[in-house]
């Protein structure tokens, strides 16, 4: 898993791949971030640009997942 670059625009493919790395569906992202259910679909289909906060948010979630795997999961 690679943390998305936060100082550049995230592509729709990077967005989709990062959700997959987290094991999230678009609906999971909506619930956790508070965006409407249509928003990530528009990003994934390149209908609207992905805001700068999204790669930063997803990068933080990837970091938390790594920390959890390393320090909390049994055998991590």
Per-residue pLDDT at 1: 47
Question: How many domains are there within the chain?
Answer: 1
CA distance 2 to 22: 11
Per-residue pLDDT at 49: 95
pTM of the model: 0.83
Q: How many helices (H) and strands (E) does the chain have?
A: 4, 0
Q: Is residue 5 part of a domain?
A: no
What is the per-residue pLDDT across 34-59, written as a single tens digit (0 to 9) for each? 999 999 999 999 999 999 999 999 99
Q: What's the CATH number where 37 sits?
A: 1.10.260
Domain that holds residue 30: 12-71
What is the per-residue pLDDT across 12-40, written as a single tens digit (0 to 9) for each? 999 999 999 999 999 999 999 999 999 99
């Amino acid at each position: 898993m690679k943390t998305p670059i936060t100082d550049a625009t995230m592509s729709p493919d990077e967005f989709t791949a990062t959700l997959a790395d987290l094991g999230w569906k678009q609906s999971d992202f909506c619930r956790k971030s508070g965006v409407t259910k249509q928003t990530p679909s528009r990003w994934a289909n390149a209908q609207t640009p992905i805001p700068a906060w999204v790669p930063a948010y997803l990068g933080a979630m990837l970091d938390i997942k790594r920390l959890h795997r390393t320090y909390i999961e049994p055998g991590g």
